[in-house]
Chains A and B, each alone.
Chain A
Amino acid sequence: MKAVVWQGINRMVVEQVPDPQILQPTDAIVRVTATAICGSDLHLMDGYVPSMVHGDIVGHEFMGEVVEVGSEVRKFKVGDRVIVPFPISCGKCWYCQKGLTSLCDNSNPNAQIAEAMWGHSPAGIYGYSHITGGYAGGQAQFARTVFADANLYKVPEGLSDEQVLFLTDILPTGYMAAEHCDIQGGDTVAVFGCGPVGLFAIKSAFLLGAGRVIGIDRFPERLEMARRMGAETIDYGEEEVFERLKEMTGGNGPDSVIDAVGLESHGTGIGGLADAVKQTTRVLESDRPHAFRSAIMACRKGGTVSVPGVYGGLADKIPLGAFMNKGLTMKTGQTHVHRYLDILTDHIVRGDIDPTMIITHRLGLDDAPHAYKIFKHKHEGCIKCVLDPWADPKDHAPVR
């Protein structure tokens, strides 16, 4: 089959690899009908997530049709149309039973390594380095999914692939980020980063009762999209964000701030430069926490900083003084995707959210290297790429 494979820093290539097989009785094989590139895949491509090995199949946003099930799979059968949430839930451990599925105790075969790095191990994740299990990902024609009964989610009839694909990650991620803000009627929420997760966080903040949402980015097409979601916007290339946010909120700052950027944020000034230099070593500092620092500084006293952006290792110079003296609360986490699936599917069916509106590019899997490039550099107005693993290589045209 064809798959997108990481072959080193900045080298995502499409290769022929062996088809996946059932390895354990709770596995299911899915024929992938749609997959997407996530912002956090860029951290893999850029080599900031440790423990990637040349030849790893990437991709953690994918869906398709079940083509084979292991002997212990009860809830799914061949022919079912499913989405595959990115964190792997065993369904049995205490965390999974509490709905904290991205913290599953049992699904990461490399838990020992994760514990050395982070103290405790989170769940395994598809296509996302060996620290989170080394599972082959779904930017491929077929994928092996594990603990199928606990993980797969049957797509309701009448919904298209593109309407449900983002339920695997970025839609619940944006939603959980907004939920973490604990929005009280009419609150103002600022969202750093108007990429796919930021945009869904904006939409979700409104659904959860925010009065105002302010989106911060520097790419015109993303800011435009944020405005279409109902947000006011700040272009950080043009304006001083901290001052502008204070001004817009009567001097208070937003009630909560979402860092939807993560470890590769673009800093300015000396701090930003120091981060960039240290991060190139990939040892002295693995994360550039510029957006995170800004979020802490901007948030009103007693407010909440919500962090859906991915961080991997060590970050420098967090304004802990501001964090403590302002009495802030921080909420973070990989998304517990499974717990949001029913709620968000209902919203999609009712038309409250149209996840397809963020899609700017539809390409064949063969075009993945190009898709990664335009997504990373925000060329061609790229906000979100969806890949079709079965498209005829010649039969595509970038669609806006």
Chain B
Amino acid sequence: MPEQQLSPQNSSPNERLLAGGLGLGLILLSLRQSGPAGMAVAAGGALLLSGAAMGRGVGDAVVGIQRTPQDEIAVEKAMTIGVSPQELYTFWRNFENLPRFMNHLESVKVQEGGQRSHWVAKAPLGSEVAWDAEITEDVAGKRIAWKSLDGTPVPNEGRVEFREAPLGRGTEVQVVLTYRPPGGTLGAAVARMLGEEPGVQIAEDLRRLKRLLEVGHQPTTEGQASGRKNAFTKAEAKMYDNRRTS
């Protein structure tokens, strides 16, 4: 039971208790509110509660955001997907496939020549951001790197690596992304509280990619029968739907 071992990063039992109590309180509180505000509070509560369960500090749960020395946000996520590195590379290299599993991308258009592309992303609170990017490295079956061109509102660069996984598990895909968000770290922290945290986003994007390539679709319960009686319980169920992968 490795989660029982305390490492220096783990919070004290008291801190966990506090976070747990606070988390539960926020979830309960959120149930009395409706609309996006209620959801945000509930999400925060769930975050704190799960943080307490895992022994993570309160501060860590709220602003566990990595920064580079240049004060950019850095995100690194990996996932194992049951197809070959070549297949995965080919799928990814066609950037127009990316919005199929990256929920925050509206569209990617590859421009003539294939090195440059135009990206449109959904930003928090219903707005949009667009930028142009160019490929900086392209090794078939192994690696793709790209960088936004000058003048974009959210300067960013990224790299995706494909490595054959051991034991016939397919491919270990790793995404490394750095960007400078509008509003700096505080903006990122607020976005995180609203469920837009970049690390979680990328992890969920990769999970959607895995499901798309392994089973062909995202599992869902959207639209299934239930005995929910009022807006209250519907909102509560939606709280889970909103935090889900598919």
Interface, chain A (partner B; CB < 8 A): 1, 3, 5, 7, 15, 17-21, 23-26, 51, 53-57, 72, 88, 90-94, 105-113, 116-117, 119, 124, 130, 133-136, 140, 144, 146-147, 283-284, 313-314, 318, 320
CB of A146 within 8 A of CB of B53, answer no
Taking a contact as CB atoms closer than 8 A, the residue among A18, A105, A134 that contacts B221 in the complex is A134
Q: A106-B215, A109-B218, A136-B221 are in contact. Are A17 and B227 (CB under 8 A)?
A: yes
Least Cβ distance of A213 to chain B in Å?
27
Least Cβ distance of B191 to chain A in Å?
17
CB of A119 within 8 A of CB of B219, answer no
Q: A94-B170, A135-B224 are in contact. Are A113 and B46 (CB under 8 A)?
A: yes
CB of B227 within 8 A of CB of A135, answer no
Segment 199-223 of B: residues with Cβ below 8 Å from A: 200, 203-204, 207, 210-211, 214-223
CB of A313 within 8 A of CB of B53, answer yes
CB of A17 within 8 A of CB of B226, answer yes
CB neighbours (8 Å) of B223 from chain A are 21, 23
B237 at the interface (CB under 8 A from A): yes
B125 at the interface (CB under 8 A from A): no
The closest CB in chain B to the CB of A16 belongs to B227
B32 at the interface (CB under 8 A from A): no
B122 at the interface (CB under 8 A from A): no
The closest CB in chain A to the CB of B219 belongs to A109
The closest CB in chain A to the CB of B20 belongs to A283
25 of the cross-chain contacts (CB-CB < 8 Å) are A3-B225, A3-B227, A5-B227, A19-B225, A21-B224, A25-B217, A51-B240, A53-B233, A55-B226, A55-B227, A56-B226, A92-B82, A94-B168, A105-B210, A108-B245, A109-B218, A109-B219, A109-B244, A110-B240, A111-B245, A112-B203, A112-B204, A116-B54, A119-B54, A144-B224
Q: A92-B214, A94-B170, A116-B50 are in contact. Are A109 and B246 (CB under 8 A)?
A: yes
Listed residue (A19, A21, A105) with the most chain B CB atoms within 10 angstroms of its CB: A105
Least Cβ distance of A365 to chain B in Å?
14
A93 vs B216: C-alpha distance when bound (angstroms): 12
* Extra pairs beyond A88-B219, A94-B169, A136-B225 (11, CB < 8 Å): A24-B219, A26-B217, A53-B233, A53-B240, A92-B82, A93-B214, A94-B80, A107-B219, A108-B245, A135-B224, A283-B49
CB of A106 within 8 A of CB of B244, answer no
CB of B227 within 8 A of CB of A15, answer yes
CB of A136 within 8 A of CB of B226, answer yes
